[in-house]
Amino acid sequence: MGLLTNKFQEDNVIVEKLEKLLNWSRSTSPWFFQFGTACCAIEMMAAAAPRHDIKRIGFIPRSSPRQADVMIVAGTVTMKMAIRVKKLYEQMADPKYVVAMGSCATSGGPYWQHGYHVLKGVDIVIPVDVYVPGCPPRPESLIEGLLKLEEQILEDRPLTRKMT
Amino acid sequence: MSADKEKLIAELVNKGLDGDMDSVNACEDKIIRGKAKAMIMKVKKGTIERPPKPELAANEKIDSKTPESLSKDEMISYLVNKGLDGDMDTVNVCEDKIVRGKAKAMIMKVKKGTLERPEMPILDSPVSSGEPLEDNTQDDDKDTFQKIKKLIYDKFPNSIIENEEGDYIQIKPDEWNELAVWLKSEPSLLFDSLQCQMGIDIGDDNLESRYNLHSMELDHYIEIRIAVPRSDPKIPSVEQVWRIADWFERETYDMLGIEYTGHRDLRRILLPDDWEGWPLRKDYQVQETYHGIVVPKMKEGWE
Amino acid sequence: MTVDFIFDGLNQLFPEFAGNDIFLIIAMLLPVAALLGFITVYGFGVIYSEIKVSSFIQDKTGPMGQGPGLHAGKWGLLQPVADGIKLFIKEDIIPASADKPLFILAPFLIFIGALTSFIAVPFGEKIIITDMNIGIFYIIGVGSLAVIALILAGWSSNNKWALFGGMRSAAQIISYEIPAGISLVVVIMIASSLNMQEIIAYQAGGLFNWIIFDNPFMPIVFIIFFISVLAETNRTPFDLPESESELVAGFVTEYSGTRYAIFFLSEYANMFVVSAVAATAFLGGWQSPFSNFLNSPAWGVFWMMSKTFFLIFVMIWVRWTVPRLRVDQLMHLCWKVFIPIGLFNVFAVAIWIVVRGS
A-contacting residues of B 253-292, CB under 8 Å? 271-272, 275, 279, 284, 286, 290-291
Residues of chain A contacting C160 with CB distance shorter than 8 Å = none
Neighbours of chain B (3+ CB pairs under 8 A): A
- The beta-carbon neighbor of C69 closest among A3, A55, A94 is A3
Residues of chain B contacting A124 with CB distance shorter than 8 Å = 293-294
Is B33:B24 a contact under the CB 8 Å cutoff? yes
Q: Do A55 and C63 touch (CB under 8 A)?
A: yes
Q: How many CB atoms lie within 10 A of CB B149?
A: 15
Residue A36: its H or E element = strand A32-36
pTM more than 0.80: no
Q: Do A79 and B293 touch (CB under 8 A)?
A: yes
B37-59 tens-digit pLDDT: 888 888 888 777 777 776 654 44
Q: How many helices (H) and strands (E) does chain C have?
A: 13, 0
Q: How far apart are CA A75 and CA C76, in angstroms?
A: 31
Residue A74: strand, helix, or coil: strand
Determine which of A48-52, B63-67, C142-146 has the lowest per-residue pLDDT on average: B63-67
Q: How far apart are CA A26 and CA B55, in angstroms?
A: 91
Which amino acid, C87? L
Q: How far is CA A3 from CA A151, A157, C74, in A?
A: 15, 19, 14
| Residues sharing a CB contact under 8 Å with residue B106, sequence separation 6 or more, in sequence order | B76, B80, B115, B118
In CATH, what number does B138-293 get? 3.30.460.80
Write down the H helix ranges in chain B. 3-17, 21-26, 30-45, 72-84, 88-93, 97-112, 138-155, 176-185, 245-256
Residue A100: its H or E element = strand A97-101
Give domain limits for chain A.
33-153
Is B290:A79 a contact under the CB 8 Å cutoff? yes
Residue B226: strand, helix, or coil: strand
Which amino acid, B245? A
| Residues sharing a CB contact under 8 Å with residue B65, sequence separation 6 or more, in sequence order | B28, B29, B123, B124, B126
Residue A127: its H or E element = none
Q: How far is CA A87 from CA A91, A163, B22, B50, C147, in A?
A: 6, 27, 72, 76, 31
Determine the residue of chain C that is closest to A20 in CA distance.
C70
Determine the residue of chain A that is closest to C74 in CA distance.
A1
Which amino acid, B106? M
Determine the residue of chain A that is closest to C95 in CA distance.
A91
Q: Do A26 and C55 touch (CB under 8 A)?
A: no
Is C175:C335 a contact under the CB 8 Å cutoff? yes
- Average pLDDT, stretch B72-96? 75
Q: How far apart are CA B173 and CA B238, in angstroms?
A: 11
Q: Count of alpha carbons within 13 Å of B98, Cβ hemisphere only?
A: 2
The answer on pLDDT for A72 being more than 90 is: yes
Q: How far is CA C68 from CA A139, B77, B176, C63, C72, in A?
A: 18, 78, 69, 13, 10
Which amino acid, C299? W
The number of angstroms, rounded, from the C-alpha of B288 to the middle of its chain's C-alpha atoms is 46
Locate the DSSP E strands across B178-300.
193-203, 206-214, 221-229, 234-236, 259-261, 289-290, 293-294
Q: Do B295 and A79 touch (CB under 8 A)?
A: yes
> What is the per-residue burial (b if ≥16 Cβ within 10 Å, else e) of B123-143?
bbeeeeeeebbbbebeebeee
* CA quadruple C204, C208, C212, C214: dihedral, nearest 10: -90
Is C79:A71 a contact under the CB 8 Å cutoff? no
Q: Do C260 and A95 touch (CB under 8 A)?
A: no
Q: Do C67 and A150 touch (CB under 8 A)?
A: yes
Give domain limits for chain B.
1-64, 66-126, 138-293
Q: Do B295 and A116 touch (CB under 8 A)?
A: yes
Nearest alpha carbon to residue C114 among C86, C139, C94: C139
Residues of chain A contacting C93 with CB distance shorter than 8 Å = 66, 91, 93
The alpha-carbon gap from C36 to the nearest alpha carbon of chain A, in Å, equals 23
| Residues sharing a CB contact under 8 Å with residue C283, sequence separation 6 or more, in sequence order | C210, C212, C307
pLDDT confidence tier of residue A111, bands split at 50, 70 and 90? confident
Q: Which residues of A sit within 8 Å Cβ distance of B?
A: 79-80, 82-83, 107-108, 112-113, 116-117, 119-121, 124-125
A50 touches chain C (CB under 8 A): yes
Nearest alpha carbon to residue C144 among C114, C102, C189: C114
Q: How far apart are CA C234 and CA A79, in angstroms?
A: 39
Per-residue pLDDT of chain C (358 residues; tens, 9 = 90+): 678 788 888 888 877 776 678 888 888 888 889 999 999 999 999 999 998 998 889 888 878 777 666 577 778 888 888 889 999 888 888 888 888 898 889 999 989 888 898 888 988 888 888 888 898 999 988 888 888 888 888 888 888 878 888 888 888 889 999 999 999 999 999 988 888 888 988 888 878 888 888 888 899 999 999 999 888 887 767 776 666 555 566 787 888 888 888 988 888 999 999 999 999 999 988 888 887 777 787 888 899 999 999 999 999 999 889 888 888 888 899 999 999 999 999 999 999 999 987 5
Angle at B10 between CA B6 and CA B11, to 5 degrees: 115
The answer on pLDDT for A128 being more than 90 is: yes
Residues of chain A contacting B281 with CB distance shorter than 8 Å = none
Q: How many CB atoms lie within 10 A of CB B302?
A: 11
CATH number among 3.30.360.10, 1.10.443.10, 3.90.380.10, 3.40.50.12280, domain A33-153: 3.40.50.12280
Q: Do A67 and C260 touch (CB under 8 A)?
A: yes
Q: Is B28 buried (19+), middle (13-18) or exposed (0-12) by CB count in 10 A?
A: middle
Q: Do B302 and A112 touch (CB under 8 A)?
A: yes
Determine the residue of chain A that is closest to C252 in CA distance.
A64
What phi and psi values does residue C42 have, to the nearest 5 degrees? -60, -40
Q: Is C276 left (phi over 0), alpha (psi -120 to 50) or beta?
A: alpha
Nearest alpha carbon to residue B180 among B230, B132, B220, B226: B226
Q: Output the pLDDT for position C257.
A: 83
Q: How many CB atoms lie within 10 A of CB A105?
A: 30
